[in-house]
Amino acid sequence: MLANEEIDAGGRRWTENRASKGGRALDVRELLAHRELAWFLAGRDLKIRYKQAFFGAAWSIVQPVVGALVLTVVFRQVANVSSDGIAYVPFAMLGYAGWTLFARGVSGATQSLVTNASLITKVYFPRLLLPLAAVLPNLVDFAVALAPVAVAMAITQTVPTIALITLPVWVALIAIAAFGVGLVFATANVRYRDAAAVLGLITQLLFFLSPVAYPASALPGQWLWLYYLNPMAGLLEGLRWSVLGGPWPGVGLIVSLLSGAVLVFIGLVVFRRGERRFADVI
């Protein structure tokens, strides 16, 4: 989108937001110049999320606890799934919290453009800030969700190692992965509203194709390289390594990181190419 200043016959200045030709390179300086807008939108979404909610912010604690209990009954008690020598409750609880960070980030980014349609059609700003702002509130939810994980670790006497200092890195990588995938679906959702429904189906499938309720080591070795093409496979294993002292993901982490980097790159390219028509189509 190009913002061009014009002067009418009366000498008054006005700005025309004109669609640019083709895709545009990512302008980091422009994003930084509008960073306060991203913080404002993220704060607004966080307030709306918990406004008039019965559990309030405690919902970020209730959800991983209930989710972990369900996974414990189904996968541990019924299916007798291993957990790499880690107590299963904190194992499942942390995996569920990490997955929720990713799933909510993708969903929020997907809906961000449609939700802010009135803003897009009236004011010029870097549209990339909308999906970015939709991902940020989930970092707060994840931080709150770590509280029950810490309690479960204390009860099961699971002691973290020095690797705990890398926790912010894994959280950031999961958020970035959610951002990249969300960009693709956000662009598609502008033109096709059922993109969100397709995302829901894909998210459900990925839940079972990610090491949320089971470790990646439970899979046969010949399938691991294909399994780690899912970015969340390596990132969730790395998250458990940092907090619970689980096994290091190994070479599979490199595959997941490369796959995630490709998804983010594709997301940026698709979003930037479609950005110039958002105001016309939405």
Digit-coded pLDDT (tens) for 66-89: 888 888 888 877 777 888 889 999
What do you get for the CA distance between the two ends of the chain, in Å?
A: 15
**Which residue did the predictor score with more confidence, 20 or 202?**
202
Average pLDDT, integer, range 123-130? 87
Question: CB–CB of 206/106 below 8 Å?
Answer: no
If you ran DSSP here, which 8-state letter would residue 212 be given?
T
Average pLDDT, integer, range 48-66? 72
Largest CA distance in the chain: 78
Residue 210, pLDDT > 90, answer yes
Which pLDDT value is given to residue 2?
Answer: 47
For the ranges 20-34, 161-175, 208-222, the maximum mean pLDDT occurs at 161-175
User: Which residues lie closer than 8 Å to 67 by C-beta, 6 or more apart?
Assistant: 92, 93, 96, 100
Residue 114, pLDDT > 70, answer yes
- pLDDT band per the 50, 70, 90 thresholds, residue 9: low
The one-letter amino acid at 275: E
Which pLDDT value is given to residue 169?
Answer: 97
Sign of the Cα pseudo-torsion (42, 45, 51, 56, in order): negative
> Structural domain boundaries of the chain?
26-281
Average pLDDT over the chain, rounded to whole?
85
d(Cα 46, Cα 186) in Å, to the nearest integer?
19
Sign of the Cα pseudo-torsion (198, 269, 98, 57, in order): negative
Q: What is the pTM of this model?
A: 0.86
Which pLDDT value is given to residue 193?
Answer: 79
Question: CB–CB of 99/206 below 8 Å?
Answer: no
d(Cα 257, Cα 271) in Å, to the nearest integer?
21
**Which residue did the predictor score with more confidence, 216 or 123?**
216
d(Cα 185, Cα 195) in Å, to the nearest integer?
6
Tokens of 240: 């458990």
